[in-house]
Amino acid sequence: MSAAPIVPRRSVLYMPAANERALEKAKTLAADAIIFDLEDAVAPDAKEAARVNAVAAASSGEYGRRQLTIRCNGLDTAWGLDDLAAAARSGASAVVIPKVSAVTTLNQVSAALDESGAPSSMRIWPMIETPTAVFDARAIAAHPRVEVLVMGTNDLARELFAQLGTAGRHPLVPHLATALAAAREAGIAILDGVYNDVKDADGFRAECVQGFEMGFDGKTLIHPGQVDIANEVWAPSAEQIDHAQRVIEAFQAALADGKGVATVDGRMIENLHVAQAQRTLAIARAIAATA
């Protein structure tokens, strides 16, 4: 399947919808997307107030270019259906659904959105945070309403009995790669999981670099202080943009001379390198368009 149009999602920040000050601050942040959170970050007695706040924020028109989503509580909770009904009419572009382990859940969510009057453009971002979800990632990613996979690495590690905070996240890498392959097969985006130590900027940067090198489109964040680093890591540098342009120009010149390969900086350039260069430039243009 061909890839979807590039939408910058370098930094996707969870914002607890019960915290009105946090929602106000989010208007000033450079995050590419916001997840107004009704689930883990909200105490049971604050769920209904958080829902009202999230809908008001998503419909306010005060968050500029940022993509706005709402993380609902699961359908197996007392709040899930009401969250979906409210989100359907909020103006948010998508709902984030925790612990999706089967396509049947996606069908139920999609039906609930439709019944509540959601526009057909409203998408679903399922969270991959259980072993079953990893095994069913291909089917989940292929659902017609799914736009982005979101890795829930904390819950996934808990269910696997894996250790968090290990160097290079080696206990989770196979599962991250499996979900990433499913997203790429389906032609959709995928977001890396959160980094828990908000004071460890160096560790956070290293994990961002790892996620970028693996192929993730961006990272979910739990603190505003993480936004700038994620944006930097997932944005092509000036040197990368220059190299991409030279790759494309050299290959076009080679084709004009009847050749199928070119050389840039001493390295052979083929079609696959041109495709990578074109994607680099497309990402740079998409980021510039949101500035």
**Which burial class, exposed, middle or buried, applies to 205 when counting CB atoms under 10 A from its CB (0-12, 13-18, 19+)?**
middle
Q: Residue 219's closest CA among 14, 3, 4?
A: 14
- pLDDT score, position 61: 97
- pLDDT score, position 3: 56
pTM of the model: 0.95
Instruction: Indicate the DSSP class of residue 2.
Output: P
* Higher local confidence (pLDDT), 257 or 51: 51
pLDDT for 148 beyond 60:
yes
CA 132 to chain centre: 20
**Calpha distance 118→110 (Å, rounded):** 9
Mean pLDDT along residues 247-269: 91
Percent of the chain with pLDDT over 70: 99
pLDDT band at 212 (very low <50, low <70, confident <90, very high): very high
- pLDDT score, position 4: 65
* Token digits of residue 258: 């009847």
- pLDDT score, position 259: 87
- Print burial letters for 216-225: b (CB count within 10 Å at least 16), e (below 16): bbbbbbbebe
- pLDDT score, position 290: 84
- pLDDT score, position 89: 96
- pLDDT score, position 198: 96
**3-state secondary structure labels for all residues of 58-123:** HCCCCCCCCEEEEECCCCCCCCHHHHHHHHHCCCCCEEEECCCCCHHHHHHHHHHHHHCCCCCCCE
Instruction: Indicate the DSSP class of residue 257.
Output: T
Mean pLDDT along residues 222-243: 97
pLDDT for 1 beyond 50:
no
- pLDDT score, position 260: 84
* Higher local confidence (pLDDT), 193 or 254: 193
pLDDT for 264 beyond 90:
yes
**Calpha distance 261→220 (Å, rounded):** 39
Q: What is the pLDDT of residues 45-93, one digit of tens each?
A: 999 999 999 999 999 999 999 999 999 999 999 999 999 999 999 999 9
Least reliable range by pLDDT among 68-72, 254-258, 283-287: 254-258
* β-bridge mates for residue 126, sequence order: 97
Instruction: Indicate the DSSP class of residue 1.
Output: -
Provide φ and ψ at 12, rounded to 5°: -125, 105
Mean pLDDT along residues 98-121: 97
- Print burial letters for 41-56: b (CB count within 10 Å at least 16), e (below 16): bbeeebbbebbebbbe
What letter represents residue 91's amino acid?
G
- pLDDT score, position 261: 86
C-alpha R_g of the chain: 20
* Token digits of residue 96: 């984030």
pLDDT for 174 beyond 50:
yes
Average pLDDT of the chain is 96
